[in-house]
Structure 1
Amino acid sequence: MQAVELQSRNNPDVEDGEGGETAASVFSRCQLPFEDVVYKIPSKRPPLSTSTGTKNSMRTILDGVCGIVRPGEMLAMLGPSGSGKTTLLTALGGRLGGDLDGNITFNGQAFSSSMKRRIGFVTQDDVLYQHLTVAETLLYTALLRLPRSLSRVEKAGVADAVMAQLGLSICRDSIIGGPTLRGISGGERKRVSIGQEMLINPSLIFLDEPTSGLDSTTAQRIVTTLGELARGGRTVVMTIHQPSSGLFYKFHRVLLLSQGSPLYFGEASTAMTYFSRLGYAPSVPMNPADFLLDLANGISPDDSVDPQTVRQALVSAYADNIQQVLKQELQEMNKHVSEREHDKKPSQWTTTWWEQFTVLLQRGMKERKHEAFSVLKVAQVVATALLAGLLWWQSSGRIQDQIGLIFFITGFCGFYPLFDAIFTFPQEREILQKERSSGMYRLSSYFMARTVGDMPMEFVLPIFLITVDYWMGGMRPEASAFFLTLFPSLLGVMVSQGLGLALGALVMDLKTATTMGSVLMLTFMLSGGFFVQRVPWFVSWIKYISVVYYLYRVGLNAQFSPHDTYQCGAGATCAVADYPAIKAVGIGGEGACIGALLAMMVLYRLAAYIGLMRVGVARGSCKMR
């Protein structure tokens, strides 16, 4: 209770909720009018020919949709698949890219970045970290989204209050789970997603198919919970595909869409009466939602009528009976917009960059340690290290074998981190888009937390392999030689990881990025100087962009010096620098090699950051015309 009271004192634009609310229910009421919302996208059909040239064909997704939702109301948007209800929900939530025609306001104000603090948006898929517990998931969200004026203890109190409100206290210490990891139930996972949005005490909550994939009992509990939130003064808007009759009558208002056009907007209790007056009444008792969906598909009680004719008749009836009355109501509302609701130029971020970085670092390391040190991955590296150590057992004095061991270590440090890193951003794209769209943190704080958090976990297994194979392989016993092999190899791990991050961020397709990574790394290995010593001049430049070449050269310098000799015949010794495999690469210049590796590490990570910005995960937005 105390934590939430502190939160309200730091937000002067709030009002007390009424009825059915817990301590986490201090928020600013919001009414949502939307008028003549039109959204079009380019069609995949060939462009239309005109006298002045060609004109791209446009497909209408939303066609003049109007409506209003007041505080304390719960609006359900119904319609068959492809009707545009999810597009409309995304547009109302300010997350639809592209240009919109129409007028969407929040208490008379256009959507702005500060509006994100008062809006909760729950996507259809529950995008959560599977290894975190329910309590940890809500705590980290609270630390990122609640204002900096609250302490960590106070934010944890808000998270506890939300868990109690949504009935999650019983599973607070259970992990979220996923497709291959047993965790909480689907209904509990959905309530966790709702709880993440409830932490900010939203005035307005959007939910996309909150009952999708749930049994009827769990769906009833979810909608009942949302109804309690609405009764407390919040505005709730959701899409729902096929609710039961019990759920249907829990909604205050219903919007029925068909191919982007509205067929009905009004109270749920009067929907059947409205269509009966139009001559569309079910011949047998049935679920109102099923009947409305049949009408949206053009299926009337009289099956002899063409579906397109039914749809056109219902669109015309909407325009004659509902649209004009609704527009008059919207005009009256616009005249009485309270001046109190104007934004007061709030800060763009609720927390500092450093706070975002530390929370994301802590959360990321707790989540990814399970993957980084999985039994399968540890067993893979241990088995590889022991096998290589036995193959190169005490190879001291066998110069060709030692060169081969150096190149094996080099290749491992190139291949191993590359493919782990490729999966990073494609797998986290959905959760990154979700959290960034809510304005939780800066892209730079996420990227730095990911980079710093991955380093210690990416280093542990390579350090183990290098250490085991170095000493089992009988390489130079001096500490300086060992560390001159180890540290550049770890730098190579960071370079290869950066390349994997860049490929994953720039492509965002696992199959394509993996293929590209394989081709690049094989190219780097073939040009690294071990397999081919006389590379044709027109492709010899490849080695200068190869991480393997620089690592291999530094490794040779760690083991050999220009003055070393080896037995090249009976009673004869030759200079190591003249050995063909070494001469092709050269001894010396390790400083330049390390400098090149450092430059590649920075450039690859810069490319990864730019890739994240290019794919549009910075933050979703919509532009109204």
Structure 2
Amino acid sequence: MMETELVGGSSIFYKPQRSLTLKFEDVVYKIKSKAQNSNQKSSTRTILNGVSGVVRPGEMLALLGPSGSGKTTLLTILGGRLSLTGTKSVKGKVTGTIAFNGCPYSSSLSRNIGFVTQDDVLYPHLTVTETLLYTVLLRLPDSISRKEKADIAEGVMAELGLTACRDSIIGNSEKRGVSGGERKRVSIGQELLINPSLLFLDEPTSGLDSTTAGKIVLTLLNLTKGGRTVVMSIHQPSSRMFYMFHKVLLLSDGHPLFFGKASLAMEYFASVGYAPNVAMNPSDFLLDIANGLSPDETVSDRQEIKDELVSAYNTELKNLVQEELEEVTRQLRETEEPNPSTKWCTSWWSQFTVLLQRGLKERRHESFGTLRIIQIFMASIISGALWFQSQGHVQDQVGLIFNIVGIWSFTPVFEALFTFPQEREMLTKERSSRMYRLSSYLMARLIGDLPMELILPTVSVTITYWMGGLKPAVLSYIEFLLVILFSVLVWQGLGLAIGAFIMDLKKAATFTSILMLLFMIVSGFYVQKVPVFLAWVKYVAISFHTFKLLLQTQFTPADTYECAPGQRCSVANLPTVKVVGFEHRQFNIIVMFVLLILLRFLAYMGLRRIGVSK
């Protein structure tokens, strides 16, 4: 159970379960960029250069610096999320020491650490209440009842001033929702629900007016009264906000220029020969000198000013920072820290049920959207009209069957293809916070998509089947529908697997289009004599197995058709049917079933690269 001792009479200011002291010493981060062409060599660039500091429980540290100074990178490294910022073209290496109560970052520690990203990654169609409720259900242990969890979410909403917009959706660029300040408070509220010992925030006041920004920083200051540690990167705070910070770390091109109490920053720079000529906002002054701007404009060389400030830090402050680090180290040695549990705080089933409920609510608007329903109905009616009552015209019926195969291959595969790339940011955020197991997320996603994946094809096939004059037998219709639904699930698996491995939507769509074109060509309808070097593809082509199984629901080897006036021929000898054949039906079903399982497993393996890997 969580501690409920209140500080200042506020329900979200109860003391955290444990206190965390963050210590970082001589942190260096270098990236190696790949050459753009064969004539260039790969280069190494230093993003952070020997940054040190310490933040104790009850303190709030602000990382200041101009754009490109390395403050967001440092925050990401300290929060244990560096791997989430890299790309294939950039490889980074971190050296130095980062410790939490003297211990390195671990998955168990992540449950005591909150991280609020600069961009508010929230589901746009959930309300404020739903967003916080689902978060608290996932992140707090099963030992706390659902009612208690709901009460905690209510308390957080009340303290963050979100009660008035509790039933408003979050919204996005396409759908109007809560304001920017309210969105930011919801993001902060999500992290406060776990009663974090250490809270990281990346630009929490970005894009907000000064009044709203001041309220957010004041809320964070009040959180430290309960013994929390707060670290934030911030670009240009007002003077009122500046003096709320207990400590400030000023960066310039990855070099530390100042670390210490915010109230002593101006005094320090005055002591090394840099004082403003007029009264001004301390943060504005610090940003000016971090950019290499001399207060009296006597020195025009910006790099010279930066070098002087780096030298002054190494001479005046570096030893003081080192002494504080050593003092904290001695204190932590005297305190025996219990080993935190590495188990998940909620069961697999709890995670699955909450994720399923949340997914159904978030995607209810798109599952049966008007545009999609119209699209499916129009395609079905047009197909039924083109092949209207084609019974007796075997070649036409075969064409109708393959047309249905085409519609219900491209539709599910491209719907599934966009699933994980669109949810990557959310999945990255939540998995990094160890909110749930990857398997529970994937299973909830698969089950939640079933209504959309199965109901629409059922309606579509029903319309086309009877309009098109396919075999007028209920059993044949049921078999035909079951094959289509089976294939839809397999195609969905293909889309999920490709999307999990290729997160770039353009590349994923291009690859999928080429692959599906190849599958369609070798399926036996367009080309009866496939070259030997491509003939093997049909055994893994979902469309081939689907087409063959569908033909078997409509025809048998004994069936005949009128191939010429007064002459009947065997359906089995029709070129399209002959190349596909009627044999090995069980083999086709087994292959489809194997693909159904294998493709979903591949999707799971692709997703393991995002966030933690368990």
Q: Give the TM-score of the pair, scaled to structure 1.
A: 0.92
Partner of 1:377: 372
Query: 233-242 or 573-582, which moves further after superposition?
Result: 573-582
Match of 1:185 among 167, 172, 179: 179
Q: CA RMSD in A?
A: 2.0
Does 1:71 pair with 2:57? yes
Partner of 2:88: none
Partner of 2:25: 35
Match of 1:59 among 13, 38, 45: 45
* 1:336 counterpart SS class: helix
Partner of 1:463: 458
Partner of 1:139: 133
Deviations 1:320-357 (A, max 9, x none): 22111121122122112265551334142101112111
Does 1:492 pair with 2:487? yes
Match of 1:534 among 529, 533, 557: 529
Residue correspondence of structure 1 range 194-593 to structure 2 within 5 A: 194-303=188-297, 304-337=299-332, 340=335, 342-593=337-588
Alignment-mate amino acid for residue 69 of structure 1? V
* 2:580 counterpart SS class: coil
Alignment-mate amino acid for residue 60 of structure 2? M
Q: CA distance change for structure 1 residues 339 and 115 in 2, over 3 Å: closer, same or farther? A: farther
Residue correspondence of structure 1 range 7-46 to structure 2 within 5 A: 7-8=2-3, 16=5, 18-19=7-8, 21-22=10-11, 25-27=14-16, 28-44=18-34
Deviations 1:113-171 (A, max 9, x none): 22112111101111111111111111111111101111212211111111111111111
* 2:269 counterpart SS class: helix
Query: 104-113 or 271-280, which moves further after superposition?
Result: 104-113
Does 1:112 pair with 2:106? yes
Q: Give, in angstroms, the shift of residue 381 of structure 1.
A: 0.7
Would the aligned equivalents of 2:125 and 2:169 in 1 still touch at CA under 8 Å?
yes
In structure 2, distance between residues paired with 1:612 and 1:504: 9
In structure 2, distance between residues paired with 1:93 and 1:548: 47
Would the aligned equivalents of 1:414 and 1:548 in 2 still touch at CA under 8 Å?
yes
Partner of 1:176: 170
Does 1:164 pair with 2:158? yes
In structure 2, distance between residues paired with 1:490 and 1:197: 41
In structure 1, distance between residues paired with 2:194 and 2:360: 25
Deviations 1:15-53 (A, max 9, x none): x45325315623122222222222222245799xxxxxx
Deviations 1:490-509 (A, max 9, x none): 11111111111111111111
Partner of 1:52: none
Partner of 1:623: none
Q: CA distance change for structure 1 residues 312 and 470 in 2, over 3 Å: closer, same or farther? A: same
* 1:337 counterpart SS class: helix
**Identity value in percent:** 57
Instruction: For structure 2, list consecutive stretches of 5 or more residues without a partner in the other structure.
Output: 84-91
In structure 2, distance between residues paired with 1:502 and 1:45: 30
Q: Give, in angstroms, the shift of residue 420 of structure 1.
A: 0.9
Would the aligned equivalents of 1:18 and 1:233 in 2 still touch at CA under 8 Å?
no
Q: Give the TM-score of the pair, scaled to structure 2.
A: 0.94
Would the aligned equivalents of 2:3 and 2:14 in 1 still touch at CA under 8 Å?
no
Would the aligned equivalents of 2:169 and 2:178 in 1 still touch at CA under 8 Å?
yes
Partner of 1:594: 589
In structure 1, distance between residues paired with 2:575 and 2:333: 84
Alignment-mate amino acid for residue 367 of structure 1? E
Would the aligned equivalents of 2:390 and 2:397 in 1 still touch at CA under 8 Å?
yes
Q: CA distance change for structure 1 residues 530 and 46 in 2, over 3 Å: closer, same or farther? A: closer
In structure 2, distance between residues paired with 1:550 and 1:470: 19
In structure 2, distance between residues paired with 1:573 and 1:298: 92
Instruction: For structure 1, list consecutive stretches of 5 or more residues without a partner in the other structure.
Output: 1-5, 10-15, 48-54, 621-625
Would the aligned equivalents of 1:109 and 1:342 in 2 still touch at CA under 8 Å?
no
Partner of 1:12: none
* 2:102 counterpart SS class: coil
In structure 2, distance between residues paired with 1:56 and 1:426: 29
Query: 340-349 or 139-148, which moves further after superposition?
Result: 340-349
How many residue pairs match? The answer is: 601
In structure 1, distance between residues paired with 2:610 and 2:144: 31
In structure 1, distance between residues paired with 2:350 and 2:13: 23
